[in-house]
Structure 1
């Protein structure tokens, strides 16, 4: 069976940030390569979600239903992250104009009321874009490495994190959901748990994470409802800066 998909996108190039113009003009921004790569990754994920045996490696007793609950929680976390960065119309965001904020940083706020999936109050979203002189793969590997977490994440308490659970979401080992534990700052303090999802395909990659309540996470790992776990995610979206070499191009053979 052959499927033909035609996608049209119209945009004002003058409104596109300079960092993203090579990506858009190369076709990777809105082109079919991006959609096909994303669809392939999502199909692999759905196949695992529907499977009776969810592959994982962990040091905790997580049931099969618990792994599914963790995957659903991670899916909601990543969705909320993308909705905040992209100013999704699902929520009403208000742009915050502050004189002491750099013009390349976008800050928005909204109210969270009666949503069991996030803490009540004012939700703040801050986003910016930077160019780094390293390959997307190298940056992705650095950010998802729990042993190097202390080099950029204040939640690590200045030390390496331990991966307590690892659930694969696709053929690439970079597509997974992990449960990380940060070292306690002192003997009387309990260690912090962080839920993390990493995704990678030919169009780019994501590293999204959020601190999670330990008792609530234990409920999820036993197959409990993840809809009531409050999350405020942070993360990184990594995209190539234009036409890439073969390792970043999807294989259509």
Structure 2
């Protein structure tokens, strides 16, 4: 109840924007972010079960789960969700902070891909300072070769578990958000979310520490991509192999980035003493 009350308060009264977004536009952003989170969690869990088919799961070489659902547009394509869970020897608080860092994001996010990230819209979304819906502006290159893109991000930190879910936004979506009345046409926007969910793992040696401030983190990584279906009804083996390869490389990049950004703590965790 406290989170919902804070959410309603902040949508109408508290926002940090460098773009001209109306209160209705902010509400549209929140609705879009809600859909983004629901889409992400539903695909990771494979729910509803009659919509998603599980191609691979626990027991594959990389323990990667792949689920897919057919598009309804007759294009013989499917939305493929690839996910995996692993343990990081870092506290959840630290993992969340590192993932939220726009300076560090350039090292692990393929959407950013070496660009410069700036938050241009932020709508608070609860009682915690880290609970927010944001629109990030990503710039690539400079001068005449400059390219830009937008990312919608929904994040929340809580001692019981945290998440950060995001997706790229088309230019016309931003025009809908920033144009009075344009938010009415946002109901059927297709997003392909990626993100992380974090669960704290207690450390018996630091039993007195607050939850999430010590110990490790169980991290689930997931992303959606659009793929062609085989001539039958399922994914072709090449698509499955490609999805597993992308996920495996993504996990290694995440591990390297987070652990190397916190070397002192990492060496302490690894020390036999």
Note whether the superposition's TM-score is higher than 0.5.
Answer: yes
How far off its partner does 1:88 sit?
Answer: 0.9
Partner Cα distance (2:50, 2:174) in 1: 26
Instruction: Describe the superposition over 1:95-152 as per-residue Cα deviations: whole angstroms up to 9, x where unpaired.
Output: 1149xx63411011111215xxxx9931000110111111101111111122211111
How far off its partner does 1:92 sit?
Answer: 1.6
How far off its partner does 1:218 sit?
Answer: 1.9
**Preserved CA contact (<8 Å) 1:177 1:195:** yes
Given candidates 59, 73, 80, the residue that maps to 1:124 is: 80
TM-score, scaled to structure 1: 0.72
Instruction: Describe the superposition over 1:150-187 as per-residue Cα deviations: whole angstroms up to 9, x where unpaired.
Output: 11101112133111111111231110011011112463
- Aligned equivalent of 2:115: 159
Q: Alignment partner of 2:187: what SS?
A: helix
How far off its partner does 1:217 sit?
Answer: 1.9
- Aligned equivalent of 1:87: 46
Q: How many residue pairs get matched?
A: 203
How far off its partner does 1:93 sit?
Answer: 1.1
Partner Cα distance (1:201, 1:221) in 2: 31
Partner Cα distance (1:181, 1:203) in 2: 30
How far off its partner does 1:242 sit?
Answer: 3.8
- Aligned equivalent of 2:164: 207
How far off its partner does 1:44 sit?
Answer: 3.2
Instruction: Describe the superposition over 1:25-71 as per-residue Cα deviations: whole angstroms up to 9, x where unpaired.
Output: xxxxxxxxxxxxxx64345334545xxx2311011111111000000
Partner Cα distance (2:40, 2:54) in 1: 17
Partner Cα distance (1:236, 1:108) in 2: 17
Given candidates 54, 73, 88, the residue that maps to 2:13 is: 54
Given candidates 108, 113, 128, the residue that maps to 2:67 is: 108
- Aligned equivalent of 1:233: 193
**Preserved CA contact (<8 Å) 1:142 1:148:** yes
**Preserved CA contact (<8 Å) 2:115 2:138:** yes
How far off its partner does 1:83 sit?
Answer: 0.3
- Aligned equivalent of 1:248: 211
Moved more, 81-90 or 56-65: 81-90
Partner Cα distance (1:179, 1:236) in 2: 17
Given candidates 94, 101, 105, the residue that maps to 1:138 is: 94
**Preserved CA contact (<8 Å) 2:37 2:154:** yes
- Aligned equivalent of 1:179: 135
Partner Cα distance (2:4, 2:202) in 1: 23
**Preserved CA contact (<8 Å) 2:115 2:140:** no
Structure 1, unaligned stretches of length 5 or more?
A: 1-38
Q: Alignment partner of 1:196: what SS?
A: strand
Q: How large is the Cα RMSD of the aligned pairs?
A: 2.6
Higher strand share: 2
Partner Cα distance (2:193, 2:147) in 1: 21
